[in-house]
Amino acid sequence: MTVARGVLERAAVAASIETVESLGAVCRVSSSDARKALVALRDSDLAVGFLVDLFGIDTGEAVDIVYHLRSFARDEELVVKVEHGYGSTLESVWDIFPAALMPERETAELFGLELAGHPNPKRLLTTDGCPPYLRKSLVVRSAEEVRDRASQHVDATSLDRTAGSLAGGFAEPGVAEPGASLDATPIPAPKPLPVPRGLKRAPSGVDIENSDRLVLNMGPQHPSTHGVLRLILELDGEEIVSGEAVIGYLHRGIEKLAESRRYSAVGTLLDRGDYVSGIHAELAFALATEKIAGIEVPRRANYLRCLLGELNRIASHITWYGPMGLDSGAMGPFLYTFRDRETILDILEDITGQRMMFNYVRPGGVVNDITTTAEAKIRAFLDEFAVHVDENDELLMGNEIFQARTQGIGVFDRETALGFGLTGACLRGSGVDWDIRRDRPYAAYDELEFDVPVAEEGDVYARCAVRLEEMRQSARMIRQCIEGLPEGEHTAKVAKVLRPPAGEAYGAVESPRGELGVHLVSDGTDSPYRMRYRPPALYALQAGEAMLPGLLIADAVVLMGSMDLILGEVDR
């Protein structure tokens, strides 16, 4: 903290620094000094070269833009807050931290700011005419509106595909509705950010009517984009000249809706964010809440969290592994691995009552204790999985065609990976030895024994190898959890309607896709004031997007498959 003060003083930046217990050092600088401060912090001996997250908080009078930075060298976190008035201009920092590219666009559109100095200042998640949803003055649909479903009128002509089609573009997407639910004092509508209308120009700016480039539109309905991702590829022959990822086809307001849910019910939304590994998102939220409220979690609950988390990690990696085979032309791995996923889902259903959407981890512990039948099922699963995982390893990783298609493709070196904010298996595939489970232990991970697989090559194959090894390590941890499960309560005594004191906290877990963080702001009421969900897949997507030029189309499919994107999490 004192180092940060010294750095900022030397750079002649006026800053107020305070230490928030559950967050670390928080610097507040003025908006004109923001870029200067960030450059100084990055280049100083603090070496905060990693942008964990960038988001906004509506304080009621202005928008606080939060830059969450991390220094791997000093193992420290630093939060820089910059106040911006409504409708003011957000100065882009993408040349300082490339990871800010997509989060900046998202923040600008959802808080109604203008974006300056950005290479692609378009809307990211919504379409033209949408109000800034994350402003506090914009209230969501009321219960009456929801109940009266028939009143929502859709003009059939607005769905005609000739009427503004390519950008998924409604000029006025349901604008009557959000407009009706605004406060009496209308928000000055922000200048609409430009949205691509038609494809007169390719992403690189070339006039495609007069060139021999071809623009190929992959998605949002495409079998190998794993959800509703849309890639606009500009091709020269079969080679990609430039590419742009268009997202937002699954933007459904998880962050906004969390502001109107009680603490125990936010998990319901988070489950549906990263929908193949719900336990991890719930856990990140629970950790943040426990930090603010000061809840001590019983040891048994911590073990159960680890147990379920690791089971869920295997299930999630299988959902990546099967389709990864499909993307590279192999149908077999999908069928073989989904046996194991069915077994895991049976176990998870036994313990939590649901196959996918658990809402099992709550602030204070877990909902219910492990069932009597689960232990035998888990042991049987571990025995057969040990055989299956080796089988899968040979089936795909040992296949020459697969190796030829993945080795040396989509290489991220160390600096690129860190610069774009990659985390998880993608970062470890590039030779950075960083795992939150080991380096910032949460739940019971400090008591478990496991290895963190790291590969140096940084290509698609390396990321696959890391994930496969992670499955083996997860199986190892599950066995330890089952054998060392301590006696005791499965949850701490927590009020039914939890009202944590006002404060801020950041809880992060190592989800199958990387660092899944929840930045929580509480104002002392029974629902969060602001909940920011750090989506690891969004950062992976923008890194993949930057890697597209120069690849062949078939390689782009494999590259995107290896980033393990879950679009529910990318769009939230």
Of 275-294, which residues contact other proteins (CB under 8 A)? 275-276
Nearer to other proteins (CB atom), residue 267 or residue 536: 267
Residue 379 binds other proteins, judged by CB under 8 A: no
Residue 149 in the binding site for other proteins (CB under 8 A): yes
Q: Which of 133, 385, 529, 539 binds other proteins (CB under 8 A)?
A: 133
Residue where the block lists tokens 């349901």: 174
> By rule CB under 8 A, what string of x and - marks binding of each residue 342-361 to other proteins?
x------------xxx----
Q: Does 227 bind other proteins (CB under 8 A)?
A: yes
Name which position in 178, 243, 507, 512 contacts other proteins (CB under 8 A).
178
Which residue type sits at 133?
Answer: Y
x-or-dash string of contact with other proteins, 300-339, rule CB under 8 A: -------------------x--xx----------xx--xx
Q: Which of 2, 19, 210, 221 lies at the binding interface for other proteins (CB under 8 A)?
A: 221
Nearer to other proteins, 211 or 217 (CB): 217
| 251 counts as binding other proteins under rule CB under 8 A | yes
- Measured at the CA of 505, the angle between CA 502 and CA 511, to 5 degrees, comes to 145
Task: Return the number of the residue (118 or 230) whose C-beta is nearest other proteins.
Answer: 230
Binding track over 3-42 against other proteins, x by CB under 8 A: ----------------------------------------
DSSP per-residue string spanning 176-194: HHHHHTB-SSPPPPPPPPP
**Short-list 262, 260, 271, CA closest to 569:** 271
- What is d(CA 245, CA 537) in angstroms, rounded to the nearest whole number? 13
Should residue 256 be labelled a site residue for other proteins when binding is judged by CB under 8 A? yes
Say whether 53 sits in a helix, a strand or coil.
strand
The alpha-helical segments, DSSP class H, found in 247-298 are 254-258, 266-271, 278-293
Token pair of 256, please? 């906004």
Q: Which CB, 112 or 227, lies closer to other proteins?
A: 227
| Given 126, 289, 399, 562, the residue binding other proteins (CB under 8 A) | 126
- By C-beta, is 206 or 326 nearer to other proteins? 326
Based on CB atoms, which residue is closest to other proteins, 174 or 408? 174
Q: Which is nearer to other proteins, 275 or 303 (CB)?
A: 275
CB 281 within 8 A of CB 309: no
Cβ atoms of 414 and 432 within 8 Å: the answer is yes
Contacts of 332 (CB under 8 A, 6+ apart): 325, 395
Which region holds residue 142: left if phi is over 0, alpha if psi is between -120 and 50, else beta? beta
Amino acid at the residue 566: I
φ and ψ of 516, to 5 deg: -100, 110
CB of 479 to other proteins, least distance (A): 25
Q: How far is the CB of 339 from other proteins (least distance, A)?
A: 6
Task: Single out the residue of 33, 43, 83, 177 in contact with other proteins (rule: CB under 8 A).
Answer: 177
Q: Closest Cα to residue 246, out of 370, 369, 127, 381?
A: 127
Radius of gyration of the chain (CA): 23
Query: Are the beta carbons of 448 and 475 closer than 8 angstroms?
Result: no
The nearest distance, CB 349 to other proteins, in angstroms, is 9
How many angstroms separate the CA atoms of 16 and 5, rounded? 8
Q: How far is the CB of 168 from other proteins (least distance, A)?
A: 4
First CA to last CA across the chain, in angstroms? 33
Question: Which CB, 223 or 550, lies closer to other proteins?
Answer: 223
Single out the residue of 37, 31, 39 nearest to residue 8, CA to CA: 37
122 DSSP assignment: -
- Per CB under 8 A, residues contacting other proteins are 125-127, 130-131, 133, 140-142, 146, 149, 152, 154, 159, 161, 164-165, 168-170, 173-174, 177-178, 181, 220-221, 223, 227-228, 248-254, 256-257, 260, 268-269, 272, 275-276, 319, 322-323, 334-335, 338-339, 341-342, 355-357, 567-568
